Amino acid sequence: MKRISLNDIAKSLGVSKTLVSMVLNNLGDQNGISQKTQGKVWEKARELNYQPNYLARSLRTGRSKTLGLIVADISNIFYSRLARVIEDAAGKHNYNLIICSTDEKAEKEIELIKMLRARQVDGIILSTTQKDPKHLQELMKAKFPFVQIDRFFDELKADTVAVDNYKGSAQLTKHLIDIGCRNIGILAISPIYTSVIQQRIAGCAETCKENGLDWDEQHIKTIEFADIDGNIEKAIDDWFSNGNAPDAVFSLNNRIAISFMQACKKRNIQIPEQVKLTSFDDIEYFELLWPPMTAVAQPFRQMGQKSVEMLIDSIENKKHEYQKIILDTELKIRKSTQLK
Amino acid sequence: MKRISLNDIAKSLGVSKTLVSMVLNNLGDQNGISQKTQGKVWEKARELNYQPNYLARSLRTGRSKTLGLIVADISNIFYSRLARVIEDAAGKHNYNLIICSTDEKAEKEIELIKMLRARQVDGIILSTTQKDPKHLQELMKAKFPFVQIDRFFDELKADTVAVDNYKGSAQLTKHLIDIGCRNIGILAISPIYTSVIQQRIAGCAETCKENGLDWDEQHIKTIEFADIDGNIEKAIDDWFSNGNAPDAVFSLNNRIAISFMQACKKRNIQIPEQVKLTSFDDIEYFELLWPPMTAVAQPFRQMGQKSVEMLIDSIENKKHEYQKIILDTELKIRKSTQLK
DNA sequence: TATTTTAGCTAAACCGATTTAGCTGATTTT
DNA sequence: AAAATCAGCTAAATCGGTTTAGCTAAAATA
DSSP code at position A289: B
What's the pLDDT score for residue A1? Answer: 62
What's the pLDDT score for residue A70? Answer: 98
Beta carbons of B250 and B185 less than 8 angstroms apart: yes
Distance of alpha carbon A153 from alpha carbon A131, whole angstroms: 9
Nearest to B145 by CA among B324, B327, B317, B326: B317
Residue A101 has pLDDT above 80, yes or no: yes
Q: Is residue B34 within 8 angstroms of chain A, CB to CB?
A: no
CB pairs under 8 A between A and B: 129
Alpha helices in A28-76 (DSSP H): 35-47, 54-61
Q: Name the residue among A1, A58, A84 with its Cβ closest to that of B143.
A: A1
Distance of alpha carbon B138 from alpha carbon B158, whole angstroms: 12
Nearest to B219 by CA among B239, B243, B195, B192: B239
Confidence band, pLDDT 50/70/90 cuts, at residue B340: low
Residue B38 in 3-state DSSP? helix
Distance of alpha carbon B19 from alpha carbon A336, whole angstroms: 66
Gap from A143 CA to chain B (nearest CA, Å) = 8
For B73-101, how does the pLDDT look when each residue is reduced to its tens digit (9 = 90+)? 999 999 999 999 999 999 999 999 999 99
For A105-120, how does the pLDDT look when each residue is reduced to its tens digit (9 = 90+)? 999 999 999 999 999 9
Residue A2 has pLDDT above 80, yes or no: no
Distance of alpha carbon A271 from alpha carbon B154, whole angstroms: 48
By DSSP bridging, strand B160-163 and strand B330-332 are: unpaired
Phi, psi (degrees; rounded to nearest 5) at A237: -50, -50
By DSSP bridging, strand B66-71 and strand B123-126 are: parallel
For B170-220, how does the pLDDT look when each residue is reduced to its tens digit (9 = 90+)? 999 999 999 999 999 999 999 999 999 999 999 999 999 999 999 999 999
By DSSP bridging, strand B220-223 and strand B184-189 are: parallel
Whether omega for the bond prior to residue A133 falls within 30 degrees of 0, making it cis, is no
Q: What is the mean pLDDT of chain A?
A: 96
Q: Full-prediction pTM beyond 0.85?
A: yes
Cα nearest neighbour of B143 on chain A: A1
DSSP code at position B3: P
Residue A244 has pLDDT above 90, yes or no: no
What's the pLDDT score for residue B81? Answer: 97
Residue B289, beta-bridge partner list: A289
Distance of alpha carbon A311 from alpha carbon B245, whole angstroms: 51
Confidence band, pLDDT 50/70/90 cuts, at residue A242: confident
E strands, chain B, where?
A: 66-71, 96-101, 123-126, 146-149, 160-163, 184-189, 220-223, 248-251, 276-280, 294-297, 324-327, 330-332
What is the CB-side half-sphere exposure of residue A294 using CA atoms within 13 A? 26
For B245-271, how does the pLDDT look when each residue is reduced to its tens digit (9 = 90+)? 999 999 999 999 999 999 999 999 999
Q: Name the residue among B51, B80, B285 with its Cβ closest to that of A117.
A: B51
Contacts with A115 from chain B: Cβ below 8 Å: 96
Mean pLDDT of B126-155: 96
Beta carbons of A281 and A79 less than 8 angstroms apart: no
Share of chain A above pLDDT 70, in %: 99
Residue B160, beta-bridge partner list: B148, B324
Inter-chain CB proximity A83 and B98 less than 8 Å? no
Beta carbons of A204 and A270 less than 8 angstroms apart: no
Residue A140 in 3-state DSSP? helix
Look up the protein residue whose alpha carbon has the minimum distance to the C1' of C20.
Answer: B18
Distance of alpha carbon A212 from alpha carbon B54, whole angstroms: 58
Q: What is the mean pLDDT of chain B?
A: 96
Beta carbons of B223 and B215 less than 8 angstroms apart: no
